Structure 1
Amino acid sequence: MASDRPLTESPFIPGQRGGTDTFAYGEYRPDEGPWQEWNPTEESLAPLRGRHRVAKQRGGGLARSSTVLGVGVIAAVGAGGMASANTGKPPVSISLPDLPSVGSLLGDDSGTGGDSAKASQASLSTMTTVAGSKRSDAGEALRNRIMAQAEQQQTQVADKALTAVETAQAKRIAAAAAAAEKAAAAKAVAAKAKAEETAAKKAEAERLAALAKQYTLPTSSYTITGTFGQAGSMWSSGYHTGLDFAAPTGTLIKAIHSGTVTQAGWAGSYGYRTVLTLDDGTELWFCHQSSISVSVGQKVGTGDVIGRVGATGNVTGPHLHLEVHPGGQATGIDPMTWLRGKGLNP
């Protein structure tokens, strides 16, 4: 690949003359010399064909030119050795100019390549870091979005639970208020009813008190021995038709209320009887008297004596048999109820 011609000497064959195979290394051997100094020039290093020239480049061009030059020198040295071997002549001594050593050139080139590799590695590392950072950012964004969605869902669940609690509480409050209102209304109704009842009782008491002044019991020092409706064979109707006041014979009998005497005399099983008709038409029968103190048509007032207790008629002992016939009807009513209705309590 070098531009100089091969030598015409006999080729050098290593190992034919004994000793170690050396080539310009170690001790001096006469069969290897004499050496001729060869100084390569720009013309000798020019390429054999084509217009291949090492162009000067900007920036890193010096390193690439030096690399090419070093490769050319190595090729030339190899070619010279091959020529010496083929011609059999002693190898020519080669003196290299003060150029950067091939090692340094290769070192520079490798250094440049190392820098490029380092730059590429740094760029790759940067890209990896950026990609990792982007992935990290994307993961962080996804995580934040998931956390935000979870928080939003938790907030919605909490709001829903709070709304349910508030609704239930409102319902309970409304139910309690309705129950309280109902209880208050019932209490008010009860209070009103009680007040009305109290007022009615008071009014009735006042009325009875007023009536009591107008009415009186027919006798005193008595004992109730027979009541209305009491069944027994002693009465012809099969039941007792009046109210019996047992008292000693001769006890005074008084007019319960003012009225007119309509009957006075003997009445069979009733014995001596006096009938007092009140202003409202009610007839009061006083029976079994021992004596009568009034006559028919006589007007009497409340508390006037009309006769005495006796045992005449169908009796077993002295007593006053009292009957009440509203409107003069034949069938009487319970004298106890009628007397109580007039404010009297036998």
Structure 2
Amino acid sequence: MTDSISTTTATGPLDGVRVIDLSTVVMGPYAAQILGDLGADVVKIESPVDAVRTGHYRTTPGMTPLSLNVNRNKRSVTLNLKDATEHAQALELIDTADVLITNMRPDALGRLGMTYDDLAGRNPSLVYAHAQGFRSDSDRVGDAAYDETVQAASGLVDIADRALGEPVYLPTILGDKVSSLTIAYSVLAALLHRSRTGQGQRIEIPMTDTLIAFNLVEHLAGHVYEPAQGPTGFPLSMAKGHRAVRTKDGLACVIPYHPRNFRDFFAAADRPDLAADPRVNGEAIDSADHEALAALIDECAPRLTTAEWAEVCTEHSIPMAPVLELDRAHEDSYVRGGHLLDTVEHPTEGAIRTVGIPVKFSATPGSIRRLAPVPGQDTADVLAELATR
């Protein structure tokens, strides 16, 4: 079944806010899409070439799967910022904005006359969100940053190496997407400040700093103290064998946390000997035992099916979830119930699946009003609006 997209006026909490998306790839565009989902009018200024628009597409050049997932609820304006006339049009659009999101390098912004100081003189109330790989006051400010380099520079690769025995990159662009969320909440905070004071401001969101702070919440561990009282690394996450288990018919996350959880798990697996083990009969599980107990969970899990483990874990309040297979996510009852994947009709791409809005507002719900535009689709309409302001 194919659903249609609402074309009604935005009703989300950011209705009336205009965002100019002057960013590329994922970090900035995903943040701008989130603000669009929440009701903002997002105008994407893009050059004829964007990495996210290159690669596989079904019918229309530039309409790649990734571009479809980070550019909805936007209008696309194609401008060549090196052309004097089109550069001036871009500045006029920014003059109308409440928020600007960019991930251009500082030297490029300087050459274009689009630094915060340049634009604040024209639009003092502008919230200027500048995302980049490294802090502007560091000696790495001009370095290229990709998700893999940020995973390395933030310590995430070290975490993986210690936990998995191999310095792998996580198979998701975590640095980009965590930074996207950080851009979004930072912009909202700056808009709140502006509503109270009338003042805009510059926000700097360095990917590496963002992911370092993210990683250290639990992994600073014993180094929270000075001098250190133990190693870095959250013990449970770092334990060998800390992974989903194979049941009789599939994969599941089964995570007993408390001694009672372990005893109930082992009893259900028909292992009374393990249920009586001293390691699961104290007041808490010793972190030194995590690895050995994980191996026992792995050993016992194939005794029951995933559905049977779900019943056992629900009965005994043991944290558990079947592993969602991405190829079948659109069939999953939880995903379907939350409209987290809906099939819709795109004007140029035909039937596509679109990811839903995960946050629910009781009074000002977000909405998907526009599917991702073809590059430059809205240039004439948006520029025409400038003449009426």
TM-score, structure 2 normalization: 0.12
Name which one, 1 or 2, has greater alpha-carbon Rg. Answer: 1
TM-score, structure 1 normalization: 0.13
Choose between structure 1 and 2 for higher RCO, CA contacts under 8 A separated by at least 6 residues.
2
